[in-house]
Amino acid sequence: MKKPFAITLDPGSSLANHTGSWRNNRPVYVDRLPPCNNACPAGENIQGWLYHAESGDYRKAWEELVTNNPLPACMGRVCYHPCETACNRATLDSAVGIHAVERFLGDEALRQGWALPAPAADSGKRVLVVGAGPSGLSAAYQLRRMGHAVTIAEAGPMTGGMMRFGIPKYRLPRDILDGEIKRIADLGVEIKLNSRVDSILEAMTAGRYDAAFLAVGAHIAKRAYIPAGGAARILDAVSVLRGMEDTDQPMLGRRVVVYGGGNTALDVARTAKRLGASEAIIVYRRTREKMPAHDFEVQEALEEGIMIKWLSTIKRMEDAALTVEKMQLDDQGFPQPTGEFETLEADSLVLALGQDVDLSLLDKVPGLEIADGVVKVDRNMMTGHAGIFAGGDMVPSERTVTVAIGHGKKAARNIDAWLRGGKYAAPEKHELATVERLNTWYYTDAPQTVQPALDIARRQSSFDEVVGGLDERNAQFEARRCLSCGNCFECDNCYGVCPDNAVIKLGPGRRFEFNYDYCKGCGMCAAECPCGAIAMVPETI
């Protein structure tokens, strides 16, 4: 970007008159909240780490990133990036590929063997985390950084929770998952596998824990009553995906039907294709517009030959045949039966109708309130029983990896404050940096970098990762597409356009300040700031 031409006057010159008394409004430098940061459920300082990435300091960018999220290589692959939906750059050409840069930084850290920052001094407090999924791992990491002794009790034989047992390898390679979890364990977090907690109060007493964070994932498949013959093969999606982690993979047959409309339904259908199914059909009772699965996953599934029967419901299964009833939308947009039926040949039917959480470990815990299959928590993530906190799938929320990681971080901050006898006070958020405050005409069109992908034939026949990562050149280019919404990046525009020479440069990294003796409040600096980091405020008398 070229800097505007400016004439610098000596303050002693007769042309450099004091003009401060002319003002009705004065400019002030402000920091506004970038919309990407605001939309991130994990609370990442996205603009902060993009700033370091665009300068090529990937280590510093990664260190800023893992302040809030210890699993960037995983989340760069599986997060549905609401940050990009909120990105102001989308109004110019296309959103910044934040998830792709995050993935690059996470992969680079694993390749280089970068270690997480050392924990603080030992606090003498012990915390039990139940569940080694994203929420439990996030909380354990943050608590260990704060100096607390942390033990994770995991009921299963492997770590990762639903990241391992609910997300296929073609979306999240297991070496990436294992590498980022190992880094957390290397901080001194103790992980006990095959250690089911049947009673949280008994476990806390036996282990002399001062607090607990419950992060049990939703591993129990919901069922639906479908009349079936004795030879019908009906499975649940959770069992199918979990079985992919065993040496004996599930036998689904050549014709597989999946009942459901979420991301899990798509994952099962795509997995069935990779296991050799000639047909994988999803039956969903609503339209594509109402499908809860993310659109890009629907598109990938269609590309791989997955068929989807919209506005359809399964009535019964006899041997190797399904009876499907067609639906139609009523005036309110709800599906209604039509009485029209068709038959689908199927070797197996997989139910992907959602999951529940096993809450049996909370039996007889006084003060807890459970409703609709989840635990109620207060704004500090604490349950009705003092010292027991909960997050992830166990509490009312959207069930995604990113939300779970954010819950773990938030709970850790509140657990730390509670252990120290206080309450955590979250800092106030700055005013949002909306697109109306930017001067996007300063930026040239540079559409988002497209990530490489496997060809369709290999996607249908292997569990190789479908979407590839960016190389260093592309990752740096993508980071540089950030508009730095709401925060000064020292472009010198204000310094160059000021007609009164009232802007003072403070040096690299220190930004600017105004000399109000010379500023007449014309507002040109605010009007020409590309990122909206200057506000005009009424002059006080």
| CATH code of the domain containing 278 | 3.50.50.60
- 0.95 surpassed by pTM: no
Q: Which of 295, 321, 352 is the last residue of a domain?
A: 352
Report the C-alpha gap between 452 and 470 in whole angstroms. 8
Q: Which alpha helices (H) appear in 146-224, and where do they start and end?
A: 162-165, 174-185, 200-207
* Together in a domain, 148 and 249: no
**What DSSP string describes 79-92?**
---HHHHH-GGGGT
Report the C-alpha gap between 66 and 497 in whole angstroms. 38
What does the pLDDT read at residue 525?
94
Q: Look at the block and give the residue holding tokens 């093969």.
A: 233
* Together in a domain, 409 and 335: no
CA 233 from centre of chain: 36
Residue 53 CB contacts under 8 Å (≥ 6 apart), including other chains: 61, 101, 104, 105, 475, 476, 479
* Together in a domain, 195 and 235: no
Q: Which of 397, 419, 441 is the last residue of a domain?
A: 419
If residue 151 lies in a helix (H) or strand (E), which one and from where to where?
Answer: strand 149-153
Nearest to 136 by CA among 211, 41, 215: 215
**Torsion angle of the four alpha carbons 331, 337, 342, 346, in this order, in degrees rounded to the nearest 10:** 110
What does the pLDDT read at residue 231?
73
DSSP 8-state assignment for residue 88: G
**Torsion angle of the four alpha carbons 436, 440, 442, 448, in this order, in degrees rounded to the nearest 10:** 160
CA 492 from centre of chain: 34
> Are 130 and 200 within 8 A, CB to CB?
yes
* Together in a domain, 348 and 233: yes
Residue 433 CB contacts under 8 Å (≥ 6 apart), including other chains: 32, 33, 34, 35, 88, 485, 486, 487, 531, 532
Does any domain span residue 118? Answer: no
* Together in a domain, 344 and 365: no
Indicate left, alpha or beta for 381 from its phi (over 0: left) and psi (-120 to 50: alpha). left
Cα-Cα end-to-end distance for the chain: 38
Buried b (16+ CB within 10 A) or exposed e, 312-347: bbbeebeebebbbbbbeeeeeeebeeeeeeeebebb
Residue 184 CB contacts under 8 Å (≥ 6 apart), including other chains: 70, 116, 137, 140, 141, 144
Task: Give the three-state DSSP class for 220.
Answer: strand
Does any domain span residue 432? Answer: no
Size of the chain, expressed as the number of residues it contains = 541
Rounded to 10 deg, the angle between the 46-54 and 472-480 helix axes is 120
Residue 274 CB contacts under 8 Å (≥ 6 apart), including other chains: 170, 460, 461, 462, 463
Per-residue tens of pLDDT for the chain, all 541 residues = 444 444 344 444 334 445 556 778 999 999 999 999 999 999 999 999 999 999 999 999 999 999 999 999 999 999 999 999 999 999 999 999 999 999 999 999 999 999 999 999 999 999 999 999 999 999 999 999 999 999 999 999 999 999 999 999 999 999 999 999 999 999 999 999 999 999 999 999 999 999 999 999 988 888 888 988 877 899 999 999 999 998 788 899 999 999 999 999 999 999 999 999 999 999 999 999 999 998 989 999 999 999 999 999 999 998 889 999 999 999 888 999 999 999 999 999 999 999 999 999 999 899 999 998 999 999 999 999 999 999 999 999 999 999 999 999 999 999 999 999 999 988 899 999 999 999 888 888 888 999 999 999 899 889 999 999 999 999 999 999 999 999 999 999 999 999 999 999 999 989 999 999 999 999 999 999 999 999 999 987 5
* Together in a domain, 199 and 285: no
Nearest to 77 by CA among 166, 172, 159, 182: 172
> Are 140 and 129 within 8 A, CB to CB?
yes
452 exposed, middle or buried (CB, 10 Å; 0-12, 13-18, 19+)?
exposed
* Together in a domain, 231 and 341: yes
Q: Which of 305, 322, 352 is the last residue of a domain?
A: 352
Domain range for 374 is: 126-220+356-419
Does any domain span residue 54? Answer: no
What does the pLDDT read at residue 138?
98
Does any domain span residue 10? Answer: no
Report the C-alpha gap between 23 and 540 in whole angstroms. 10
Task: Give the three-state DSSP class for 37.
Answer: helix
| Residue 216: both structure tokens together | 């049990």
Q: How far is CA 172 from CA 260, 350, 404, in A?
A: 22, 22, 17
Does any domain span residue 291? Answer: yes
* Together in a domain, 198 and 249: no
Does any domain span residue 71? Answer: no
Domain holding 496: CATH number?
Answer: 3.30.70.20
What does the pLDDT read at residue 21?
61
**240: amino acid identity, one letter:** V
* Together in a domain, 237 and 298: yes
Domain count, the chain: 3
Does any domain span residue 439? Answer: no
What are phi and psi for residue 385, nearest 5 degrees?
A: -105, 125
> Are 493 and 519 within 8 A, CB to CB?
no
Q: How far is CA 397 from CA 376, 402, 403, 407, 510, in A?
A: 11, 11, 8, 10, 40
Nearest to 289 by CA among 333, 336, 340: 333
* Together in a domain, 327 and 286: yes
Does any domain span residue 281? Answer: yes
Nearest to 101 by CA among 174, 50, 36: 50
* Together in a domain, 347 and 493: no
If residue 267 lies in a helix (H) or strand (E), which one and from where to where?
Answer: helix 263-274
DSSP strand pairing (279-283 vs 255-259): parallel
* Together in a domain, 191 and 257: no
Report the C-alpha gap between 180 and 158 in whole angstroms. 14
